[in-house]
Amino acid sequence: MKKYRCLVCDYIYDPEKGDPDSGIKPETPFEELPDDWLCPLCGVGKDQFAPVEEEKETPKKDAPLMFCYQCSQTAKGTGCTVRGVCGKEPTVARLQDNLLFAIKGISAYLYHARELGYTDPEVDAFLEKGFYSTLTNVNFDANQFVELALEAGRMNIKTMQLLKKAHIDTYGEPIPTEVPVGAMKGPAIIVTGHSLKTLEELLKQTEGKGINIYTHSELLPAHGYPGLKKYKHLVGQLGGPWFDQKKTFSKYKAAILGTSNCVLLPKDDYKERMFTSGVAQLPGVTHIKEYDFTPVIEKALELGDLEEEPRETILTTGFGASTVLSLADKIKELIEAGKIRQFILVGGCDSPLLQAKYYTEFVEKLPKDTVVLTLACGKYRFNSMDLGNIEGVPRLIDLGQCNDAIVAIDIAVALTELFGVELNELPLTIVCSWMEQKAAAILWSLLALNLKGIYLGPILPGWANDDIIKVLVENYDLTPIGNPEDDIAKILG
């Protein structure tokens, strides 16, 4: 019997073992798995698997030094891959890509701020300058592109501050909130993505209609905002990070609303009960315009009740800067008494790669005199763990969505004032997971603050060549994640 490998996350289905968690007995050949069986790790379907035996060892070709096909001079009419016909060097081409990725990340935060009526002309002007700099025959200077990336980091800090202000002005500052995971009896809508504005509009339109609203993925922190948690029919969370959506959305026969990234191409079994809004769009899925959720509500009512299930897992979210800083004196006392040794920000994007298991093991293995700050969907690797507290200071503090990196920065800056030290002298280490381009923007924000010694994984950015990595390692002591034990030993000295 052949083993099959998931092409998305590398999980290997071994027919001898089966998949007991999904009810698949040992000795079940891959070909006999039910059509709706999903990868237990990342939730993709059988069509995303290939037989292990048939994988041929292809000699690894060197990656192209660069790739640019944005003008008519492009080599052979297909792409400059070694050096630009215009003279552009590979490192410049890659730094241009890096800048564009950071700009994409900033744009996402700016978009959600604008949804709530908040804009910043200085950031808009930077976006123009950044895009323009990557046009053909404008800027060939690698150092300038490093400066532009740092400027992008600073502009991203401004944008995250803008979005935080928009969220707090509109919904109040988050307060720690326990969120049950699991279904209640009744019709349901599952909302995924990042848009609090979209969630709020849906909550208003579903009030009194007997429909339960559940968050998924990066909308979990919505439960902490007073202006959203006041809606009694915002009842909990279903599923975890973005990449489990095929599994979660197949399991719960509810209407689904995707409000931003990360939406995945839907499976056929829930495509007709899925909807998108804002920038998110999927082929064959109804797109909602102008926040009119009538079709979503009608679909939820038509689908009928979800079955009640035990809601044993409770996730705690909603730690705003005020809540954490109200503990500042206590934190200072505990650090000085040696009862808190280190704060570790373990945050960023989750990904279905096998290497992402690192973050679960890392947090599990941390000694009990450490405090974990977290944000974004990387938290799902460990946010159901009970880490307890140190004399009233929780050991696991969920600050919110990826844009709430600004809350972590605000807390760190406030602690520097409390202790009278520089940022890099704080007992704080950042262990950062990344998947998409918002994380690229945040990484440059941290570098713009001159934060040293960041651990980054599960893999290093593919667009960074040796020259770029060298700059990051030499100037910022950026460290690729290794194994949890060694990294913890290094961090704690």
Q: Which of 377, 408, 415, 478 forms a contact with ligand SF4 (CB under 6 A)?
A: 377
- The reply on whether position 94 binds ligand SF4 by CB under 6 A is no
Determine how β-strand 396-398 pairs with β-strand 370-374: parallel
* 3-class secondary-structure state, position 177: strand
Determine how β-strand 314-317 pairs with β-strand 342-348: unpaired
Q: Which of 241, 238, 214, 242 is nearest to 228 (CA)?
A: 214
- The reply on whether position 248 binds ligand SF4 by CB under 6 A is no
Q: Which is nearer to ligand SF4, 85 or 489 (CB)?
A: 85
Q: Which is nearer to ligand SF4, 85 or 125 (CB)?
A: 85
How far is Cα of residue 259 from the mean position of the Cα atoms in its chain? 14
> What is the token pair recorded at 107?
């744009």
Q: Classify residue 300 as left (phi > 0), alpha (psi -120 to 50) or beta.
A: alpha
Q: Which of 73, 286, 355, 416 forms a contact with ligand SF4 (CB under 6 A)?
A: 73
Q: Which of 74, 159, 245, 248 forms a contact with ligand SF4 (CB under 6 A)?
A: 74
291-301: string of b/e by CB count within 10 Å (b at 16+)?
Answer: bebeebbebbe
User: Min. distance of Cβ 221 from ligand SF4 in angstroms?
Assistant: 11
For the chain, what is the radius of gyration of the CA atoms? 23
268 contacts: CB under 8 Å, gap ≥ 6: none
Stretches 71-79, 109-117, 458-466, 481-489: which one binds ligand SF4 (CB under 6 A)?
Answer: 71-79
- The reply on whether position 80 binds ligand SF4 by CB under 6 A is yes
With residue 275 as reference, give the H or E element that holds it. Answer: strand 274-277
Q: Which is nearer to ligand SF4, 248 or 342 (CB)?
A: 248
User: Strand locations in 53-98, DSSP E?
Assistant: none
Stretches 67-75, 167-175, 280-288, 305-313: which one binds ligand SF4 (CB under 6 A)?
Answer: 67-75
User: Min. distance of Cβ 348 from ligand SF4 in angstroms?
Assistant: 7
Q: Which residue is nearest to ligand SF4 (CB)?
A: 84
- The reply on whether position 191 binds ligand SF4 by CB under 6 A is no
Q: Does residue 256 contact residue 248 with C-beta atoms inside 8 Å? A: no
- The reply on whether position 472 binds ligand SF4 by CB under 6 A is no
User: Min. distance of Cβ 215 from ligand SF4 in angstroms?
Assistant: 12
Q: Which is nearer to ligand SF4, 244 or 350 (CB)?
A: 350
Q: Which of 13, 37, 242, 252 forms a contact with ligand SF4 (CB under 6 A)?
A: 242
Q: Which is nearer to ligand SF4, 211 or 376 (CB)?
A: 376
- The reply on whether position 441 binds ligand SF4 by CB under 6 A is no
Number of H-type helices and E-type strands within the chain = 15, 19
Q: Which of 218, 244, 398, 410 forms a contact with ligand SF4 (CB under 6 A)?
A: 218
User: Min. distance of Cβ 62 from ligand SF4 in angstroms?
Assistant: 18
Q: Which of 22, 48, 70, 465 forms a contact with ligand SF4 (CB under 6 A)?
A: 70
- The reply on whether position 65 binds ligand SF4 by CB under 6 A is no
Report how far residue 231's alpha carbon sits from residue 83's, in angstroms, rounded to the nearest whole number.
57
Q: Does residue 194 contact residue 219 with C-beta atoms inside 8 Å? A: yes
Q: How many CA atoms lie within 13 A of 307 on its CB side?
A: 4
How far is Cα of residue 455 from the mean position of the Cα atoms in its chain? 16
**Applying CB under 6 A, which residues contact ligand SF4?**
68-71, 73-74, 80, 84-86, 88, 136, 217-218, 242, 261-262, 349-350, 376-377, 402, 435-436, 438
